[in-house]
Structure 1
Amino acid sequence: MKKTLRYNFRLKPTVEQEAKLAEFGAYARGVWNLLLSENVRRYRYDKTFLFYDEMAGLLRDLKKFDEFSWLKAFDSAASQQVARDLDTALKNSSNKGRAQQFPTFKISFKLKRLHDDSFRCVNNNDCIRIEKGAISIPKVGKIPIVLHRKLASKIKTATVKMRHGNWYVSLTQEVECKSAKQVLSTLVGYDINSQYTVVGSNGWYVKNPKAFKKASSKLKQIQVQLSRRTKGSNRWQKSKSRLNKLHGKISRQRLAFAHEVSCSIAKSSDIIVFEDLNVKGMQQFNGQMVNDNVMGLITELTKYKAELNGAVYHEIGRYVKSSGICSECGHEHKFDLSVREFSCERCKAMQCRDLAAAKSVADTGEKDLMASGILVRALPKSQQKSPPKTKVFE
């Protein structure tokens, strides 16, 4: 089985190439707004929408007019991708299961003082290729690229974007997944909380690095400096650039930490059990802590990496109680969040709250997987003698 993954690489364009990339990003935004406005007008007229085939035909017809000559300068495959994205957004907004809002118009980066436009190219007839340390982008040319890793397979699409003052390209490639393991010997449950990012039922702890909290004093200093500058002046632009780069550094630190943790989890366990956290609801109470802990990102990365390694990934129900359950006798307790260690009221066993929660997650996940028929307890062979606590599944 193959899985499509996305890999990000840094670009080092020249001044002329930067202007061209920013221009193409503006073209993609213009195509989105143009097609969306036509959809709004059509819906007000006869309560219907334009979908991909009609939008692609509209773009082809508009190229004949002088007012839309900029569509000829833009890559035709990239404009078709914008139409595909709008088609998907329109269908998701009308799907009750997705609960997504109706697509909105994109604002110019000049109004927001940011470069956040992007465009996606398709590798038709090998038009996107990497040769001699440079990537070829249609109608842009060869741009130097920082190739920090080898390509997994042939490039399918390339998304060019600017983030925190630097240009990046995101390449989608197909990666072959390992075959599913027939015999699974390690089942580990993981609890995610504020003090420790991840606590495993096998006693593995990962402390929260709190990248945002460590940089908060520097952020405050730059923000105060920015507030004292005249908006739009050269000094204001320099302070804004410093603030943008610092936010980019924090974002990269969080992403690198999430990749390290998820990679360790996916490689060390055959059966991985997490709890389905309501991250959006948790952000309403303490958004900074939840964002700094990258709770949702770790579970997302672990899920696809477990599929690549042939492991089993499972999430227990959102409303299943896992915290405050004794790992020895299963007695349930109710504590405040400030209580990190407790003594069981029934068996008097002293234990860590996070470790007990991770063991409870592992037990619940094991019962769910066996009840659904995904796992079956393997019978030991008569010649083999295994410890009584060892569990082997098929």
Structure 2
Amino acid sequence: MKINRAYRYELKPNVAQRILLAQHAGTARFAYNWGLARRITLYEAEKKSTNAIAQHRELNQLKQTEFPWMYEVSKCAPQEALRDLDKAFKNFFRGLKLGQKVGFPRFKKKGQDDSFRLTGAIKVNGKAVQLPRLGVIRLKEEPWIRGRILSATVSREADRWFVSLACEVEIPDPAPVLGPIVGIDVGLNHFAVLSDGTKVEAPKPLDKFLKRLRRLSKKHSRKQKGSTNRKKSALALARLHRRIRNIRQDFLHKLTTNLAKTKSEIVMEDLNVRGMMRNGSLARHIADVGWGEFRRQLGYKTAWYGSKLTLVHRFYPSSKTCSACGYVREELPLSVREWDCPSCGVHHDRDHNAAKNLKNYAKGIA
């Protein structure tokens, strides 16, 4: 079967290439913001909409007179940015029709949204990648690329540049995993409790570096805007955020890969993570563990490795149901971590009991 897989590597550009990379990112950001402003103005004035193709034609006409500096970069950078904007509007209007809360497209900011996408002649030669208008840029490691390269997305994180190569890969249909069915209950005391009793602890990098993050943030706020010291402070802050994100992603990738390769079916609740993030007391802790990213990675990795992901409705009473006899309690406050079944007398750990009920749901016992 054919799948889309991305290979991400760190670039090792020289000074001239760094300048050119920044120009591409700035042009893509400008095109996106220009297109968003034009769409807003058009709708307010004429109640009409437009699309990426029409906006790209309009921008090409303006490049000759108002934006001649755009000829210094690849035409793909602004073109793909306008396509991303068009996709953002389609997602927004689709969300309105389906009653889902999808945010209105927002303007991009320099230093936060430094990325662009290229298509066309993209090649990988040894420890280097060849990109349109950018030429050959060295990589920090030997790439391992399979399949046909569709596009290259270049992004900046703090002071480092990365390239993500999206490829169409032909892989054999995976053989079904012969492992057991497992129910997973995610939480904050333990990142995940499995139905077999295994408890997985999250690294919680944000909580670990929170004191240092607050200190750097306060230090940054005191710097004079536009000064060199403020730029240095912003760089130190960005590096810490990158380190926190890398620790979290490393943990999630290793855990999801292991589960997808060893379990025939993974059962978990379809939690409303976005809604739970509105809780001011729990929002930071929920964001730190990454429940949404955990579910997203399991979604595509189970398809890759031959296992199955089953999502149970979020209102299924997995915690309140006795996994031994099926008795359902009327109420079970979040503060209650252990309880005894009034029907059969079995003592339950809240999270482990929920995981076993999710497993029973997949087997048709619940």
TM-score higher than 0.5 here?
A: yes
The change in CA–CA distance for 1:22 and 1:216 in structure 2 (over 3 A counts) is: same
Identify the match of residue 323 of structure 1 among 288, 294, 319.
Answer: 319
2:16 match: 16
> Structure 2 unaligned runs (5+)?
none
Which structure would you say has the larger Rg?
1
Q: SS of 1:322's equivalent?
A: coil
2:353 match: 356
Amino acid paired to 1:84: R
Question: Is the CA contact 1:184–1:271 (under 8 Å) kept in the aligned structure 2?
Answer: no
Q: Distance in 2 between matches of 1:266 and 1:297?
A: 15
Q: Distance in 1 between matches of 2:196 and 2:316?
A: 21
Q: Distance in 1 between matches of 2:194 and 2:324?
A: 16
Q: SS of 2:278's equivalent?
A: helix
Q: SS of 1:308's equivalent?
A: helix
The change in CA–CA distance for 1:222 and 1:31 in structure 2 (over 3 A counts) is: closer
Amino acid paired to 1:104: R
Runs of 4+ in 1 over 6 A off after TM superposition: none
CA deviation vs aligned residue, 1:336-360 (integer Å, no higher than 9, x gap): 3233222222211123211110011
Q: Distance in 2 between matches of 1:13 and 1:68?
A: 26
Q: Distance in 1 between matches of 2:233 and 2:43?
A: 45
Identical residues among aligned pairs (%): 33
Amino acid paired to 1:152: R
Over the residues paired in the alignment, what is the CA RMSD in angstroms? 2.3
Q: Post-superposition shift, 1:19?
A: 1.1
Q: Distance in 2 between matches of 1:60 and 1:34?
A: 13
Amino acid paired to 1:82: A
1:105 match: 107
CA deviation vs aligned residue, 1:223-266 (integer Å, no higher than 9, x gap): 34334544444443333322221111011000111101111110
CA deviation vs aligned residue, 1:323-372 (integer Å, no higher than 9, x gap): 1322211112333323322222221112321111001111223339x9xx
Q: SS of 1:61's equivalent?
A: helix
Identify the match of residue 259 of structure 2 among 262, 265, 274.
Answer: 265
TM-score by length of 1: 0.84
Q: Map residues 304-343 of structure 1 onto 2, 5 A cutoff.
A: 304-333=300-329, 334-343=331-340
Question: Is the CA contact 2:184–2:195 (under 8 Å) kept in the aligned structure 1?
Answer: yes
The change in CA–CA distance for 1:55 and 1:240 in structure 2 (over 3 A counts) is: closer
The change in CA–CA distance for 1:207 and 1:74 in structure 2 (over 3 A counts) is: same
2:238 match: 244
Q: SS of 1:351's equivalent?
A: strand
Q: Distance in 2 between matches of 1:149 and 1:353?
A: 45
Q: Distance in 1 between matches of 2:70 and 2:153?
A: 19
1:275 match: 269
Question: Is the CA contact 1:5–1:175 (under 8 Å) kept in the aligned structure 2?
Answer: yes
Q: Post-superposition shift, 1:9?
A: 1.3
Question: Is the CA contact 2:177–2:261 (under 8 Å) kept in the aligned structure 1?
Answer: no
1:81 match: 80
Q: SS of 1:260's equivalent?
A: helix
Q: SS of 1:329's equivalent?
A: coil
2:67 is the alignment partner of 1:68 = yes
Q: Distance in 1 between matches of 2:129 and 2:222?
A: 42
CA deviation vs aligned residue, 1:199-239 (integer Å, no higher than 9, x gap): 11122221122111111222233234334544444443333
Question: Is the CA contact 1:36–1:86 (under 8 Å) kept in the aligned structure 2?
Answer: yes
Aligned residues: 360
The change in CA–CA distance for 1:160 and 1:321 in structure 2 (over 3 A counts) is: same
> Structure 1 unaligned runs (5+)?
371-394
